[in-house]
Amino acid sequence: MSKITTHVLDTVIGKPAAGIAVKLERQEDQDWASIASAETDRDGRCANLALDAVPGTYRLTFATGAYFSQHGRTSIYPEIAITFQCNSNAHYHLPLLLSDNSYTTYRGS
């Protein structure tokens, strides 16, 4: 079983992005099944989205539009989805580096 975690860094202000709603889903046939939902903590982290994820295709969705609105900013991204494969008994940490008009993600440790 695998562990799935994430964190969000607002690269415009150089600080963690607290209060972003995050949803974790697993693909089942042609549909997506909800696994967990959380909100990033004051350090921008969701540390316990899945502690025992089975192999498969997963999607993390971040409600970035609400975050930007709360901070008086606009963005072309109302939400950001990261789809990834979980294939082994490992830790999948998927950070999101966020700005108003761009984002980057990678597999962290």
For position 8, which CATH number holds? 2.60.40.180
53, 1 contact by CB (below 8 A): yes
Tokens of 62: 């971040």
Give counts: helices (H), strands (E), the chain: 1, 10
Q: How many domains does the chain have?
A: 1
Q: In whole angstroms, what is the distance from residue 18 CA to residue 20 CA?
A: 6
pLDDT of residue 89: 85
Q: In whole angstroms, what is the distance from residue 24 CA to residue 5 CA?
A: 10
Closest to 86 (Cα-Cα) out of 47, 46, 63, 54: 54
pLDDT of residue 109: 84
Q: Does 106 belong to an annotated binding site?
A: yes
Q: Does 67 belong to an annotated binding site?
A: no
Low-confidence ranges of the chain (pLDDT < 50): none
Q: Which domain holds residue 55?
A: 2-105
Pairing mode of beta strands 31-39, 45-53:
unpaired
pLDDT of residue 99: 96
Q: Does 77 belong to an annotated binding site?
A: no
